[in-house]
Chain A
Amino acid sequence: MILGIPITGETVAFFLLSLLIISSGVMVMSLTKVMHTALALGGVFLGVAGIFILLGADFVGVVQILIYAGAITILMVFALMLTQKGDDTGYPGPGKRSFFTLLGVAAFCALLLFVIRGTSWPVATTKVDPFPQPSIVMIAQSLFHTYTVPFELVTLILTAALVGAVVIARKEE
């Protein structure tokens, strides 16, 4: 028991992943070299994926690793490199406004944390295994029964985004 929390495998994993996510996040904000930033970003995404898996959402966790840690991070690195002037990101550090922003963000987070603490969350009345079957089956059922239309819409959006991205990024002739 540390601070009223039982020390189990779960909690240990949670704390380690949290540490990874938060420290990587802070590093994304503070590092200036491109590659360092990209690495830190990968850390954040991986940590989040770990949390997902910890919560039994293995499929989403895998998707997270594939899309975020894989695709998006690489994309970002490319973009950073394409637009880079010199070695570092080359932008001035925090100014006076950053301080106020920090204050505002801190207040916001504090409020939310306070609310999270103050709320009495409903707890499952019957303690059953959360997921009696593999999550991927459930997701598939949900996605192709309940959420068929949104799912199709998302594909549309993705297509539109693809076309849009091409059109926008294309060189003007």
Chain B
Amino acid sequence: MQNVLLMIVLIPVIAALLILPLKARAHAITRSIGMLGSLLSALFALAAYIAFQRSDAAYQFVLSVPWATINNAFAGTPLTITFAFAVDGISLPLVMLTGIVSVMAALRSFRVTERVKAHYVWQMLLVSGLYGVFAAADLFTFFFFLEVTLVASFFLILIFGQERREYAAFKFLIYRGIASVFLLLGFVGLAYALANSATTVSASQYMAYGPNFMSLNLLQLLDESVKAPLALGAQTWLFFVFLFAVLIEEAFVPFHTWLIDTHEQSDTSTNMLIGGVLMKVGLYIMLRFVVSILPLALAAYSEWLAILGVISILYGAFAAIAARDWRRLIAFSGISHMGLVLLAIGSMHALGLQGAVFMLVSSGLLTALLFYTVGAQAERTGTYEIGKLGGLSKSLPVLSGVLLVAALGTVGLPGLSGFISEITLFISSFERFPVVSTLGTLGMILAALYLLFAMQRTTFGPAQGAAQEGQGIARDASVTEAIPLLVLVAFVIAIGVFPNILGVVVHPTVQALAGRIGG
């Protein structure tokens, strides 16, 4: 089991390498390899979930290989880089999420007919990068895989997008590139700040580097931050560097416009992966680095997080009401939901952190589901515009039904995964910020408003516009198309009805994490 994470990350890369030498027209085999690669990785992720020690809050499946040492990194202090993987109760659910969404996206990519090879290669690299980001236990490893996702999604948008794909792809690249710069600054700052108080050097490390050296290994950093916590001043500036990176990375208002363009221009499987998984990375950074290593700064500025979160909730919801394009609506809805997570992190309570993790997973599944359904509808009717659709329930009952489930799940209907996330995170946020949270609950009403309006416009009423014209040829979901829908719906329902399947994994870790921030 030691190498399970390595397998998870490597398999998509191997799949991509296998696809590379294939002939450009060998669509069937390309698709099969892509599908198999995704599936195998997901199965390993499942194995990791099964083998995971439930009651243990610490990192598990730790794999750490020295990668490089820079001798005179800063003022004569050596810097060590490891190639390290490990998961805990926060990252494992996200690895699972990546597994589920990537398989569904690989199935969805069966519909791609042009430049199939390039599509699968980049998609496999993106998936590998996503796995790597969530499984990384070293800041450099993390950053490396984050950049892999950046490049892979850039090409997926650039090659397979709609008319304005170049604009969107470069906007994506520039925004996230800036975020990466700040993230790198934060990482280096973190390593530098914690190196000065090194008290956790192991004997072999002492032999190799002496008493003072900078490590980018997350486990070592965490250890150090417990034994010799940073002063408030250092924590504060690191906090703001990270916060700024996260605000861009996670597309919080007002740094969100790149996400809208990206979603409006990308094809469905890319949207599923970006909206479903990549958009959770920013908040994962927040949970992983900020909450655990910078607790004093978090405590000092948690109101800011809550306020930023609520601004995003309300802004996203109102903008979604005005959206005329389904993808735009889903993008804004995602922004609104990620605001909830920020609110939960601001509450600094174990239950809130658990709600945050649940929300990340739930929103990932639901966003992927929404993009899938909307994409499948657009494939038949030729448009994403809400105003041009209507009465699809009659011609496409299965897709419409799934859209209904996805919309209700996003609204936070009990029995689906959204609700358990919302209630847990609101319990903790109300305890700390009653007024701000009340504003946040407005988002729940507004979510019902925009999703129901759009959904009814699309599926209810008489058939009209594009739907009417396409009615003759429109066929409901085929079997290969229905599988992802049903699987995603099954997961959404499973988490909604039996939240413990996720809760047992998440709870010990968030409890330990909350212990650090006094929650």
Q: Do chains A and B touch in the complex (CB under 8 A)?
A: no
